[in-house]
Amino acid sequence: MLMDREAMYSREAWAFSMDRSSAIAGHVMTLETQALIDRGVAAALAERDVDRSRNGDNSNDSGTGGRR
């Protein structure tokens, strides 16, 4: 009887640890996905800003932003 109870507790502890491991792995995957999305958004914004006019009204200028 004692062995059965110990085996049951051992299985329950193992199952609990596996559930926790799965939850942690899922959370890490979510964070990695969010980091990739953030990187893509940052890259898209940087690319957009390179193409944007520097004089504020987005009219055609030389893109230097300096005075002549």
Average pLDDT of the chain, as a whole number: 82
Q: How many domains does the chain have?
A: 1
Q: Show the domain range for 34.
A: 1-49
Question: Is 63 contained in some domain?
Answer: no
Q: Residue 40: its pLDDT value, please?
A: 94
Domain-located, residue 66: no
- Say what the pLDDT of residue 18 is: 87
Q: What is the dihedral of CA 35, 41, 47, 50, to 10 degrees?
A: -100
pLDDT of residue 58: 57
Whether 8 is covered by a domain: the verdict is yes
Is 25 a domain residue? yes
